[in-house]
Amino acid sequence: MSKGLQTLLTQTPEEGFKLAVKLAQKGIEVTQPSEEIREMLRPVYSRNADSLTAASQVVAIHFQTVAFANNYWN
């Protein structure tokens, strides 16, 4: 995604899910551009169940968008 987000279209739901994950991360990078700091935070939130659930929720919201864009891969 170095050149930016070019399309929401993907070949499969699996790729669509990966795109949703990237979009969720992209939303975090906007507020915290430093990869160093983001990696510093990971060991804590990745072992906190509520943080993991919250992260999964953002993915779920983006997956709605990506799935719709791909006509649910039907």
Residue 11 within binding range of a second copy, rule CB under 8 A: no
Structural element, H or E, at residue 30: helix 13-31
User: Applying CB under 8 A, does 10 fall inside the site for a second copy?
Assistant: no
Q: Does residue number 62 form part of the binding site for a second copy (CB under 8 A)? A: yes
Q: Residue 47, interface with a second copy (CB under 8 A)?
A: yes
Cα distances from 39 to residues 13, 14, 45, 48, in angstroms, run: 28, 25, 10, 15
Residue 51, number of CB atoms within 10 A of its CB = 13
Which residues bind to a second copy, rule: CB under 8 A?
A: 4-9, 12-14, 16-17, 21, 23-28, 30-32, 37-38, 41-42, 44-65, 67-69, 72-74
